[in-house]
């Protein structure tokens, strides 16, 4: 169950980071509240996942997949560009996350 919670936290992390860019383009207080709320949800889910997964493993998966997810989503949503070299390094991050998951003690 902890791994499911962690993957929900990763998704929330991606939404949080994207909401920061979105809020920067809006001039309303409501847009500023979205990243704040997502931040609390995000941290709560990560903390909950860490009850069943070692902190280092959970954090590595959370940050790695979060970073790759933000890059991929921002290419779709905001038209950001990814070079082949960047894509290669993103693949290395995913390989590292998968290896971390496969070798985790939990």
Angle at 68 between CA 100 and CA 8, to 5 degrees: 70
Q: Answer yes or no: is pLDDT of 106 > 70.
A: no
In which region does residue 3 sit, left (phi positive, over 0), alpha (psi from -120 to 50) or beta (all else)?
alpha
Rounded to whole angstroms, how far apart are CA atoms 86 and 64?
14
Contact call for residues 50 and 60 (beta carbons, < 8 A)? no
Q: The whole model's pTM is what?
A: 0.87
The string of pLDDT tens digits covering residues 70-92 is 999 999 999 999 999 999 999 99
């Amino acid at each position: 169950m902890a791994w499911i919670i962690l993957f929900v936290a990763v998704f929330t992390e991606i939404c949080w980071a994207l909401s920061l860019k979105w809020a920067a383009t809006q001039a309303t207080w409501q847009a500023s509240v979205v990243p704040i709320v997502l931040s609390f949800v995000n941290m709560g889910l990560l903390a909950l996942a860490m009850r069943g997964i070692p902190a280092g493993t959970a954090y590595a998966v959370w940050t790695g997949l979060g970073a790759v997810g933000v890059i991929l989503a921002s290419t779709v949503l905001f038209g950001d560009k990814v070079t082949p070299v960047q894509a290669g390094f993103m693949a290395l991050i995913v390989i590292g996350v998968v290896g971390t998951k496969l070798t985790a003690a939990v």
